[in-house]
Amino acid sequence: MDILKQLGLNLTFFIQVGIFLATYFLATRLIFRPFYQAMAKREELTVGSKESAESLKTEIGELEQKYQVKAREVATKVHSTFEAARSEAGKEHAKRVLDARKDGEAKLTQARTDVAKTKQELRNELQNSISGLSQAVAAKMMSKDV
């Protein structure tokens, strides 16, 4: 005890150490442990959220790739359907043009035949009227000369 008195330690030192230890244990149990547990839980949630976000990013990437593949398939299908319809329309157009040409040629041939027939009829009529006209002209001329 003499050493304690020489160091200037008395009963108040031990009371203060006791109060310090009691406060330390109470603070550890009531404040620090719940605080560290809350921090650990927060860390776990944060890391869990990061991992969840990473897994969602991965899933989004996979879904985007699937979407692009499906979009390409649909675009290819639409393109092939369009090309088939375009080809069919081209064939239909060619057929209609050919039919129109045939119809036009038939009408042109008929018109030429009608014109030739009318021309021949007019020529025959003219031939018939020429002989009658020439006789009438000759008769008139003879009646004036004589």
Q: Please, is 21 exposed, middle or buried when counting C-beta atoms within 10 Å of its C-beta (0-12, 13-18, 19+)?
A: exposed
Residues 81-108 pLDDT 10s: 999 999 999 999 999 999 999 999 999 9
- DSSP string covering 106-122, please? HHHHHHHHHHHHHHHHH
pLDDT reported for residue 146: 46
CA angle 64, 67, 71 (to 5 degrees): 140
How many other CB atoms sit within 10 Å of the CB of residue 9?
A: 13
The mean pLDDT value for 32-54 works out to 85
Residue 20 has pLDDT above 90, yes or no: yes
DSSP strands (E only) in the chain: none
Residue 109 has pLDDT above 50, yes or no: yes
How far is it, in rounded angstroms, from Cα 88 to Cα 34?
78
Q: In the predicted model, what is the mean pLDDT of the chain?
A: 88
pLDDT reported for residue 145: 56
